[in-house]
Structure 1
């Protein structure tokens, strides 16, 4: 019953409060943090959930210390976010996809594939409008350029860009 109360508060009111970067609205960060601690499976200290972020019930979300969800981000399913993760606006993280194996059955009638969790390491920077597809593991220290579509796992300290995202360099000398 308490969880339902937190969901009603978040989706009915707190989600629509101004961004914490808006002048004079730093307090909204504290309110959303308080609410999400009651919703997420695991919640680190000093997290930042921005205006418009959506994450279903939050039951399968793990978020580490000093990490955040950007403005209007959408998380679907089981997502683990490490410590010190920066996430730009309008990031989408998916954990399930449609089934499409049979050409005899319309795709709409084939149902969904199995859920594949997404795991994001520590010290990761995810740019604006990045899409992360089911089952992807993002290593530590990764930078993902704005607008990238990440369909495969990314090794530690890589810089990736594009659609599909590809490694353009390593942050390790």
Structure 2
């Protein structure tokens, strides 16, 4: 198993993720991890035949799970889909390591004042049904609450709640107690 895929699985089970039965169990019974596996394999494919094979697997999994994350999306190691369901991320989005995402999330492009796609830092959690749009920067250690609408920059160590979104700043990481098994 490639090291980045192992780092993604580590986010679910910690050191137990090295166990073969855990790997098999997560692949077959956790749709979010299975999607991540195909996503990473399609990104890492180094020849046209394997690239085609893994992209077909990725597309099939995309259609079965409702998770739409293009292969060109840059997501750091330690990617965890906490609850699978309709998830849409624009392919030009850049996301750091130790990223948690839940069902119903949209991370996308927007025109207007904040034209572009989001850049998301490390140790970020985006909860159910949240929307992050536009050329905004989400800092490190940010927690986006369920149903929040974010179309503005968010500083490090913050929580975003509500629609329209409102920032609550903290002196320490609000994600520290929710991100288990982080990777370095």
TM-score for the superposition, normalised by structure 2: 0.59
> Which residue in the other structure is 2:40 paired with?
37
Structure index of larger Rg: 1
How far apart are 1:164 and its partner, in Å? 1.7
Q: Residue in 2 aligned with 1:14?
A: none
The alpha carbon displacement at 1:125 in A equals: 1.1
* 1:148 maps onto 2:148 in alignment: yes
The alpha carbon displacement at 1:33 in A equals 3.1
Shift of residue 80, structure 1, vs aligned partner = 1.0
* Residues 79, 118 of structure 1: 8 Å contact kept: yes
Q: Shift of the alpha carbon at 1:77?
A: 3.6
What is the root-mean-square deviation of aligned Cα atoms in Å? 3.1
| CA deviation map 1:126-171 (0-9, x unaligned) | 1110000110111000011100000101000001101121112314
Higher helix share: 2
Partner in structure 2 of residue 11 of structure 1: none
Change (3 A) 1:66 1:120: same
In the aligned structure 2, how far is the partner of 1:75 from the partner of 1:167?
22
- State whether residues 114 and 134 of structure 2, in contact with CA within 8 Å, keep that contact through their aligned partners in structure 1: no
3-state DSSP of counterpart to 2:35: helix
Q: Residue in 1 aligned with 2:90?
A: 76
Q: Please report how far the alpha carbon of residue 58 of structure 1 lies from its aligned counterpart in structure 2 after TM superposition.
A: 2.7
Shift of residue 29 of structure 1? 5.2
Distance 1:170 1:78 in 2: 29
- Contact kept in structure 2, 1:77 and 1:95, CA below 8 Å: no
> TM-score, normalised to structure 1's length?
0.62
Q: Which ranges of structure 2 fall in alignment gaps of 5 or more residues?
A: 1-24, 45-61, 174-184
- Equivalenced residue count is 128
Structure 1: stretches of 5+ with no match in the other structure: 1-20, 42-48, 100-112
